[in-house]
Amino acid sequence: MRADDTRNPQISKSDHSATMDHAQILIVEVWVPLPFRTPLSYLFDPALAPDGAAPRRGARVVVSVNNRRLVGIVDRTSQATAQNDCSRLRPVETVLDTIPLLAEQTLDLMLWTARYYCSAAGELLQLALPPALRTSSRLQQSREWLTVRYWRLGRAPTEEASGQLQGRKQRELLTALQTAPAHQIEHGHLRSLGFGKAQFTALETAGLIEEVIMDELAMEAAKGEEEPQAASDGPPAGHTLNNEQKATVEAIVSSDGKFAAFLLDGLTGSGKTEVYLAALDRLIAEGRQALILVPEISLTPQLTARFEKRFPGLVCVYHSGLTDKQRLLAWNDIRLKKKPVVVGTRSAIFLSFTQLALVVVDEEHDSSFKQQDNCRFNARDLAVVRASNQSCPVVLGSATPSLESLQNAESGRYQLLRLRHRTAAFARPQIELVNIRSRKLTGGLSDPAARAILDTLQARRQVLVFLNRRGYAPALFCQSCGWIAGCSRCDSRMTLHRHDASLRCHHCDLRLRLPTNCPECTSGSLVPLGSGTEHAEEALQALVGDDIPVIRVDRDTIGSTSALHDKLELVKAGEPCVLLGTQMLAKGHDFPDLTLAVILDADGALFSGDLRASERAMQLLTQVCGRVGRGEHAGRVLVQTRLPSHPLIAQLLAQDYRQFALNELELRRQLAMPPYSSMAVIRAEAASEAHLQQGLALLASQLKTVMTQQHLGDGVTVHGPFPAVLARKKNRHHGLLWLIASKRATLRSLITGLMSQPASPDRPRSRALQLPGRTGRHQPFSWSLDIDPYETL
């Protein structure tokens, strides 16, 4: 950074050489939201600041980088010494926060995360802030949103003033404030309780109450002891726990105040959520908070509702589906410890908690905990790191635990807690296969499945039909010449969508009008091949008649959270209906009247070269089976397959996920694959195949160099280059390398070594600060690193 910018005359070189007082000048290290590996240094002269206070660690500052004004986060300040060449540094332009917005623990966790996943800390840090606080252009707005009006008791309310109160509502308002913590209540909350201007004015005139306006951004979280959290009348109690549940809760609670990781392995419906609730009940108190990470809140409103019911007024929900204002307010409530129970999606792991009592990761196997772009962190793993840093227990719960967590439990790193029985109301569903190899299907539906659906509806129960493929048909085929509609930009087929007569590429979103004639041979004999949810919906509606609703849930029908909510409400109402959808339906829903599930195409999940293909397929199918029979009536699952003797189908039938997982783990151990080794994937993309091959070859040879230099020997293997699943996507060519090491430290050395290699033989890495290998659309060749990848292809 050069200091010859005329906009900042106070730090111009001549000025400084005259006035430089090293004892006064501070050097502030700031993380800016750009792909740098280190913070940037700026100057701060307390003498020139209005209040003279140096920015604290975790506070936001405005700085400029290449003439762009950015909001950065302060990492450190230190006294400038004679060794610092201050003349080259620009000043901090504005200090936005006198109170740091990020707790020390949060900042440390994020810096650790950036290092572990080899990504840019400055960019990652943005995730710790709600969008409204990330840019300087929104300063005004965010301040307004965070200005809160309270009413509190007047300084010296006299007996006679209160005796003279006229109305019942006036007395109620006074009582409410007298019994409230700190004798104050938010204006908005009072209004929602039915108090209005009439009461406020009357009491204010009598000197009984006064209004307080607070800038909450400038507030620091109260210390735990000063702010009692538990509701005074006590939350409603849950179910009486069964013995297994009790033992589980005891194990968790006995680790209060210290780190312990638990894997809670329990069938769907075995009462895991009830265990979380009971543990929370015992652990949250005295300004402590608990974090419950869930895969996707919008898909499971019922789960959130259960927390809210049990802890009324104490639950805060944080996810990206909120508006910017809602997100800011929720974020702030959490920072100020106003809400002890926080339910959130993966980025909630970076919220500013100071005193955590418990971390829960529900459905811990779910892939949505792994971020798939930029910093590819896994919130499930960070939950364990965070719990360890903050000395509290962490519970990873699932009916279908990830192999990583199971292995951690097997090796004793995590304590295994099992709930082996479904609660009284639940029975195991009965699973049957329907071999569809030589059967005629209508919209993907076989006759036995159709009959079972009609029988179920006849008995006035509900049906779930699962098909993990949206659109009308996965391909369009010409019967005369064999042409199949393919995407011009990707190596993929186009999906037929009938409702708007389009062909769409599900990989790059290219949309074309549905052709009436074959573009190759001009014949009019184009036919759809296979079935997606749109086709299944048509067939199901024809099957069940117009009086029974067929409710389709996939990305094409669910534009918004509220649309999904409305559809699910319809199912909850309990009338006979058919719920049809993709994997959105496999996640944690609880519908007591669902008694039949039909899996239209179990085989779709079985074929993939991905490391986790079987694991994922088994989890998905098991979760779908777990949706039925959650009420009084036993459930039944029909699995349509062309491969009835496939081992995975046999294991699904046996309903023994644990046995499946142990077998699969043994296989991974024999192949020395994760979780028995550490893995990183290098994903590369290039403008042409030649660029791709050239770039990957260079990377491979650099890796070899590092391995030789550092004597990494047998400790690490480089596999590849391989083509990606879609070798061509959006006209870019994709390929990858696998790095597999027996020890995490070896992998780390290899990666660190690679990072210090030149970007290309003729072009040394230009800026030492810049992280290498970020995927860039426009570069001829670029690459990125995925540490502990979830998807490996």
Can you give the binding site for ligand ADP, defined by CB under 6 A? 239-242, 245, 266, 268-274, 423-425
Q: Which does 671 bind (CB under 5 to 8 A by kind): ligand ADP, Zn ion, none?
A: none
Smallest gap from residue 353 Cβ to ligand ADP (A) = 24
Contact (Cβ atoms closer than 8 angstroms) between residue 360 and residue 293: yes
Cβ burial, residue 220 (10 Å; 0-12/13-18/19+): exposed
Give 152 or 572: the residue with its C-beta nearer to ligand ADP: 572
Q: Which does 272 bind (CB under 5 to 8 A by kind): ligand ADP, Zn ion, none?
A: ligand ADP
Please tell me whether residue 340 adopts helix, strand or coil conformation. coil
Q: Given the structure tokens 């006759």, which residue do they identify?
A: 447
Q: Which does 735 bind (CB under 5 to 8 A by kind): ligand ADP, Zn ion, none?
A: none
Residue-wise burial string across 633-647, b where 16 or more C-beta atoms lie within 10 A, e elsewhere: bebbbbbbbebeebe
Query: Helix 403-410 vs helix 657-670: angle between axes, to the nearest 10 degrees?
Result: 80
Give 425 or 484: the residue with its C-beta nearer to ligand ADP: 425
Q: How far is the C-alpha of 80 from the C-alpha of 24, rounded, in Å?
A: 8
Q: How far is the C-alpha of 237 from the C-alpha of 769, rounded, in Å?
A: 55
Taking Cα atoms as reference points, which of 760, 777, 786, 621 lies closest to residue 699?
A: 760
Give 276 or 738: the residue with its C-beta nearer to ligand ADP: 276
Give 477 or 657: the residue with its C-beta nearer to Zn ion: 477
List the alpha helices (DSSP H) in 671-765.
689-709, 744-755
Which H/E stretch holds residue 623?
Answer: helix 613-625
Q: Which does 270 bind (CB under 5 to 8 A by kind): ligand ADP, Zn ion, none?
A: ligand ADP
- Rounded to 5 degrees, φ, ψ at 519 are -65, -20
Taking Cα atoms as reference points, which of 125, 136, 14 lies closest to residue 70?
A: 136
- Region at 668 (left for phi over 0; alpha for psi -120 to 50; beta for the rest): alpha
Smallest gap from residue 403 Cβ to ligand ADP (A) = 20
Smallest gap from residue 424 Cβ to ligand ADP (A) = 6
Smallest gap from residue 688 Cβ to Zn ion (A) = 17
Smallest gap from residue 736 Cβ to Zn ion (A) = 19
Label the pairing between strands 716-729 and 732-741: antiparallel
Q: Which does 102 bind (CB under 5 to 8 A by kind): ligand ADP, Zn ion, none?
A: none
Smallest gap from residue 271 Cβ to ligand ADP (A) = 3
The DSSP letter of residue 789 is -
Smallest gap from residue 393 Cβ to ligand ADP (A) = 18
Give 241 or 692: the residue with its C-beta nearer to ligand ADP: 241
List the alpha helices (DSSP H) in 545-688.
561-572, 613-625, 647-654, 657-670
Smallest gap from residue 687 Cβ to Zn ion (A) = 16
Q: Which does 505 bind (CB under 5 to 8 A by kind): Zn ion, ligand ADP, none?
A: Zn ion
Give 242 or 770: the residue with its C-beta nearer to ligand ADP: 242
Q: How far is the C-alpha of 471 from the C-alpha of 511, rounded, in Å?
A: 13
Radius of gyration of the chain (CA): 30
Give 179 or 525: the residue with its C-beta nearer to Zn ion: 525
Smallest gap from residue 506 Cβ to Zn ion (A) = 8
Give 487 or 679: the residue with its C-beta nearer to Zn ion: 487
Q: How far is the C-alpha of 372 from the C-alpha of 615, rounded, in Å?
A: 19
Other beta carbons within 10 angstroms of residue 176's beta carbon come to 16
Locate the DSSP E strands across 82-159.
94-95, 147-153
Give 394 or 696: the residue with its C-beta nearer to ligand ADP: 394
Taking Cα atoms as reference points, which of 403, 429, 435 lies closest to residue 602?
A: 435
Contact (Cβ atoms closer than 8 angstroms) between residue 771 and residue 754: no
Residues making contact with Zn ion (CB under 5 A): 478, 480-481, 483, 487, 489-490, 505, 507-508, 510, 518, 520-521
Q: Which does 489 bind (CB under 5 to 8 A by kind): ligand ADP, Zn ion, none?
A: Zn ion
Which H/E stretch holds residue 662?
Answer: helix 657-670
Give 511 or 719: the residue with its C-beta nearer to Zn ion: 511
Smallest gap from residue 503 Cβ to Zn ion (A) = 10
Taking Cα atoms as reference points, which of 524, 544, 624 lies closest to residue 584?
A: 624
Give 132 or 490: the residue with its C-beta nearer to Zn ion: 490
Q: How far is the C-alpha of 69 from the C-alpha of 135, rounded, in Å?
A: 9
Q: Which residues pair with 79 in a beta bridge?
A: 26
Contact (Cβ atoms closer than 8 angstroms) between residue 363 and residue 588: yes
Give 423 or 492: the residue with its C-beta nearer to Zn ion: 492
Q: Which does 481 bind (CB under 5 to 8 A by kind): Zn ion, ligand ADP, none?
A: Zn ion
Smallest gap from residue 677 Cβ to ligand ADP (A) = 32
- Rounded to 5 degrees, φ, ψ at 149 are -95, 135
Q: How far is the C-alpha of 485 from the C-alpha of 587, rounded, in Å?
A: 33
Q: Given the structure tokens 């004892």, which residue do they identify?
A: 23
- Rounded to 5 degrees, φ, ψ at 29 are -100, 125
Q: Which does 518 bind (CB under 5 to 8 A by kind): Zn ion, ligand ADP, none?
A: Zn ion
Give 273 or 749: the residue with its C-beta nearer to ligand ADP: 273
Cα distances (Å, whole numbers) of residue 82 to 321, 402, 667 = 50, 54, 61
Q: Which does 520 bind (CB under 5 to 8 A by kind): ligand ADP, Zn ion, none?
A: Zn ion
Q: Which does 483 bind (CB under 5 to 8 A by kind): Zn ion, ligand ADP, none?
A: Zn ion
Smallest gap from residue 124 Cβ to ligand ADP (A) = 31
Give 618 or 681: the residue with its C-beta nearer to ligand ADP: 618
Q: Which does 392 bind (CB under 5 to 8 A by kind): Zn ion, ligand ADP, none?
A: none
Q: Residue 620 has which token pair?
A: 């998905």
Give 273 or 446: the residue with its C-beta nearer to ligand ADP: 273
Q: Which does 268 bind (CB under 5 to 8 A by kind): ligand ADP, Zn ion, none?
A: ligand ADP
Q: Which does 521 bind (CB under 5 to 8 A by kind): ligand ADP, Zn ion, none?
A: Zn ion
Q: Which does 58 bind (CB under 5 to 8 A by kind): ligand ADP, Zn ion, none?
A: none
Q: How far is the C-alpha of 90 from the C-alpha of 43, rounded, in Å?
A: 6
Smallest gap from residue 749 Cβ to ligand ADP (A) = 42
Smallest gap from residue 548 Cβ to ligand ADP (A) = 26
Smallest gap from residue 298 Cβ to ligand ADP (A) = 18
CA angle centred on 574, ends 573 and 580, rounded to 5°: 95
